[in-house]
Chain A
């Protein structure tokens, strides 16, 4: 699944570890999410979207197809 996490993290000046701490996951999970190698649960997708104050569709590119 394509995501904009890396781009949004750079926009907000967050490191992978800082984002991981905010959503209470391990840094590796953020790494795999950014690489598109892992589809998050709805709960995690929602929490990440909340960190960036955006909707899930905007962060995870669900509306791009």
Chain B
């Protein structure tokens, strides 16, 4: 099984696991939904939507015999990863600067991880729409 075929199966399975885990946690520990919990669920679903959307797109492309990745898409992922890492570092500094605002460290870590994932997704979408920086220069 190729890397791409593997990701076609893995992404929906991982997405289902995360949604299932959330559902279990909510039923077991938080039967009364607070506004904060709803906000976390909405952000988590948005973060999850990007890989699921990409997985559906990839499945459609595979049916049409369109290559799932090529030299530009690989470069796009590398650049998006590099920029997302830089911006995630900034977000972690901001989170630590305001750490007194968070009631506990677990919540702070959760928000930081979701922010990092969201930053990567947004960076990838931005570069896909507007082009990869400096990719027109050698």
Contacts and interface: CB of A to CB of B under 8 A. Distances in A.
B20 interface: no
Contacts of A40: 71
Chain B interface bracket (under 10, 10 to 19, 20 to 34, 35 or more)? 10 to 19
B132 A25 contact: no
Nearest to B137: A39
Contacts, number: 47
Nearest to B65: A21
Given A25-B67, A26-B67, A39 B135 contact: yes
A4 interface: no
Nearest to A43: B71
Interface of A is mostly: loop
Interface stretch (A5-13, A30-38, A50-58): A30-38
A38 B73 contact: no
B136 interface: yes
Contacts of A20: 66
A26 B68 CA distance: 8
Size band of the A side of the interface?
A: 10 to 19
A41 interface: yes
B136 A28 contact: no
B70 A38 contact: no
A38 B67 contact: no
B57 to A, nearest CB: 11
Q: Which 6 A-B pairs have the closest CB atoms?
A: A37-B131, A25-B70, A29-B72, A38-B135, A37-B136, A26-B70
Interface of B: 61, 65-67, 69-73, 128, 131-132, 135-138
28 contacts: A21-B66, A24-B67, A25-B70, A26-B66, A26-B67, A26-B69, A26-B70, A26-B72, A26-B73, A27-B66, A28-B73, A28-B128, A29-B70, A29-B71, A29-B72, A32-B131, A32-B132, A32-B135, A36-B136, A37-B131, A37-B135, A38-B131, A38-B136, A39-B136, A39-B137, A39-B138, A40-B71, A44-B71
